[in-house]
Every structure is written in C-alpha cells, then in structure tokens.
Amino acid sequence: MDFDLSDDHRLLRDTVRDFANQEVAPVAEALDHEKRFPYEIVQKLGGLGLMGIPFPEEYGGSGGDSLAYALAVEELTRVDSSVAITLCAHTSLGTQPIYLFGNEEQKREWLPQLCSGAKLGAFGLTEPEAGSDAGNVKTRAALRDGNWVVDGAKQFITNAGTDISGVVAITAVTGENDGRKEISNILIPNGTPGYEQGTPYRKMGWNASDTRPLTFTECTVPEENLLGPRGNGFKQFLHILDIGRIGVAAMGVGLAQGALDQALAYAKDRQAFGQSISKFQAIQGKLADMATEIEAGRLLVYKAAMEKDLGRNFSLTAAQAKLKTGRLAVRCAEEAVQIHGGYGYIEEYPVCRMYRDAKILTIGEGTDEVQQMVIARALGA
C-alpha cells in the first residue's frame, strides 16, 4: 500500500496551491462581500486545464484521474469555497453526465467548450419536493413532433445563470412504466425559449458562486437532446451523485485544512500573558485534533477517488468521505473562529467566511442523513 502521491499528482497539487494563493486569496474577501461571480478566475482555471481535469484530451480535457481532480478541489477550497464549488459543480455535475451518458455528437458539441471553461455546465435535479427524495421529480417532458416539451421547476442549481453558462442537464418525467415514473435526462442549452433562470438566492455562504432556481414553460428542445437511454435518468443521476460526493468531500477536507492554516498562523502570532497563544495547552489540543481528523478525512477522500479510478464500486467510500469531511469542515471552522476570539467574528478574517461556507457541506450533494442511509444500506442494515 503506497500512501505517496505520484510526481504528477504532487506537481498538480502544488500548481493549484500556488494559483489559489496568488490569484484567489487576494480577491476572495471582495468576491464574497460583493457577491460577485469570479469570471476572471474561471477563465484562468480554464487556461490551466483545471476545468476539464478528469476528461480525455480528445474532448479537450486534461486526461487526469479522480485523484487529480480531488487534489485540485481541495487546494482551491483551502482558500475559497465559492471558486471551488464553481469548478466542482461544473465538472462533477455539469460535464460528467454528458461525458458518461452522451452520444458522440453530444460529446463533440459540448465537451470542448466545457473542458476549456469557455462554457459552464449545470445539473438540474433538485426541486421543491425532490431534494433528499430525489426520485420525486415533478418536472415533465412530453415528446411532441420530434421535440421534448419541458414544464417544471428546479431549485438550488449551481452555474446555470452566469454569462458563460452553456447547458443544464435536467431530470424530467417522460412517461410511466407499470405505474412508476419514467425519469430521463435531457440537455437544455441556455437561451432556449421557455427556459428561464430566476434571481440568485441570498445565501449564508458561497456568495461568489451562482445558485438560483430555474423554470421551464413549454421549453422545447429536439428529441436528440435526450441524454442516454430514455427511462435511465434515475440510475444515471444516482451515479452522478456518487461522483459528486468525491468532489464535495474534497471540499470538506480543503475547507478544514484552510481553517487549520488560518488558526495555526493566528495562534503563533497572537500574544497573551507574555507568550504566543499557540503555546497554551488548550489551543494545542484544538490544533492537534484538527490536524489528526483532517488527515484521516483526506485519506478517506483519496481512497474513494482511487476506487473510482480502479473501476471498483466506490459508492460506500464516497458517502463515508462526504459524511466525515462535511462534519469536519464545520467543526474545524468553528474551532478556528474560537481560536481567533473576537477577530473570528469579523468579516476581514477568512475564518469568518469559512464558518459561513462550511455548513452547506453537510447538506449539499445529499444531506448527512442521506449519507448515513446510503452507508447503512451498504452495510446490510
């Protein structure tokens, strides 16, 4: 068993770390405060090949693996979660469905644009009554005269409403089989009549990312926009969610590590009672626990990524990683704020933003309760 990263993986990690520190960190506070989407950063990420890490070079991707992707997400989240979720949702949710289930024509049309970062991809699954109960889809698509006519609504959708958003893959009910919903996935390009992006949500965190509701009113797209076989939508999006959990779990590790970075630097600099507060046992205990739990969570994320790359069933490990690191991010952000004392409650300090950003990691891509359900079922409970 080899715990060392390859030279290529280390180079990627260090490259993304340098980019995050030099390009993202200086503007992260302003982007969050102004709720401004980071167009310039996304363009640079595309230029570095990071928007298409896990996709083949023949489609414009970087030809990397899931571990490389997890490393990049971790390093970005270490500095800013909004930038990280933009890449994460675009890659895992927006682009993966087209790569995994699209036909060759769909791949050739969309993947080069998405992998370069010229266009952003989005995934429309969640609805007002279809969150944790993901199969309770109400959006419908009827086949008429060689076109899909879509009516319905989605909510909490990332990357669908920016100036560079290109396409959203939505789940819709396309019929019934033996009294059960037939769910399929359909590609809806931005600019299609009847497809409207709502006003961005006012969120607790992730303020520089794009999250908003979508509505479809007699939205008509060609029959060829069906993504994968008709009726396979439920099975397809469950697989996409498994992949997405690796990315969100990597975000949890990254945020926790970023919180530790900030807490350690502050503790070493802050003086009290004639010495650095990092010398006090109470502070050392917090830092030691954070570092230990982060390393355990990181190894779980890496294991999930490597299982996927080896073609093994990674659903259990991805759920465990996501459950572990989401909770860890919340705890580490809270401890980092506590170590900062009053300054931790001030927006000028990154830990304040991290504290707000952390909570969604226990909700998005399946709540903690859903992860527990997935894990328990895998155990045979």
Q: CA 355, CA 339: separation in Å to the nearest integer? A: 13
Identify the residue whose tokens are 């970023």. Answer: 258
Q: Are residues 306 and 326 in contact, defined by beta-carbon separation less than 8 angstroms?
A: no
Predicted confidence at residue 134, as pLDDT, reads: 84
Radius of gyration of the chain (CA): 21
18-29 tens-digit pLDDT: 999 999 999 999
In the structure encoding, which two tokens stand for residue 56, read together?
Answer: 């083949």
In the structure encoding, which two tokens stand for residue 72, read together?
Answer: 């990049």
Note if 365 is an active site residue: yes
Q: CA 336, CA 265: separation in Å to the nearest integer? A: 10
Q: CA 71, CA 83: separation in Å to the nearest integer? A: 14
115-148 tens-digit pLDDT: 999 999 999 999 988 888 988 999 999 999 999 9
Alpha carbons within 13 angstroms on the beta-carbon side of residue 142 total 6
**pLDDT for residue 257 is more than 90:** yes
In the structure encoding, which two tokens stand for residue 311, read together?
Answer: 């073609």
Predicted confidence at residue 252, as pLDDT, reads: 98
Predicted confidence at residue 177, as pLDDT, reads: 84
Predicted confidence at residue 2, as pLDDT, reads: 85
301-344 tens-digit pLDDT: 999 999 999 999 999 999 999 999 999 999 999 999 999 999 99
Express as a percent the part of the chain with pLDDT over 70: 100
- Distance (Å) of CA 330 to CA 79, 167, 256, 290, 327: 15, 32, 8, 11, 5
Question: pLDDT tier at 178 (50, 70, 90 boundaries)?
Answer: confident
Predicted confidence at residue 312, as pLDDT, reads: 97
Q: CA 199, CA 215: separation in Å to the nearest integer? A: 11
Query: What would the mean pLDDT of 277-301 be, rounded to a whole number?
Result: 98
Element at 251 (helix H, strand E): helix 233-269
Query: What would the mean pLDDT of 36-47 be, rounded to a whole number?
Result: 98
In the structure encoding, which two tokens stand for residue 314, read together?
Answer: 């990674």
Catalytic one among 334, 348, 365, 369? 365
Of the candidates 296, 290, 292, the residue with the CA atom closest to the CA atom of residue 339:
290
Predicted confidence at residue 261, as pLDDT, reads: 98
Query: What would the mean pLDDT of 58-74 be, rounded to a whole number?
Result: 98
Q: CA 159, CA 119: separation in Å to the nearest integer? A: 10
Q: CA 214, CA 192: separation in Å to the nearest integer? A: 12
Predicted confidence at residue 240, as pLDDT, reads: 96
Q: Which residue pairs, CB below 8 angstroms and at least 24 apart, start in 260-264?
A: 260/287, 260/290, 260/291, 260/294, 260/332, 260/336, 261/78, 262/336, 262/340, 262/349, 262/350, 262/351, 262/354, 263/287, 263/290, 263/332, 263/335, 263/336, 263/339, 263/340, 263/351
Predicted confidence at residue 1, as pLDDT, reads: 79
Beta-carbon contacts of 185 under 8 Å, excluding residues fewer than 6 positions away, are 97, 101, 169, 170, 171, 172, 226, 227, 228, 232, 233, 236, 237
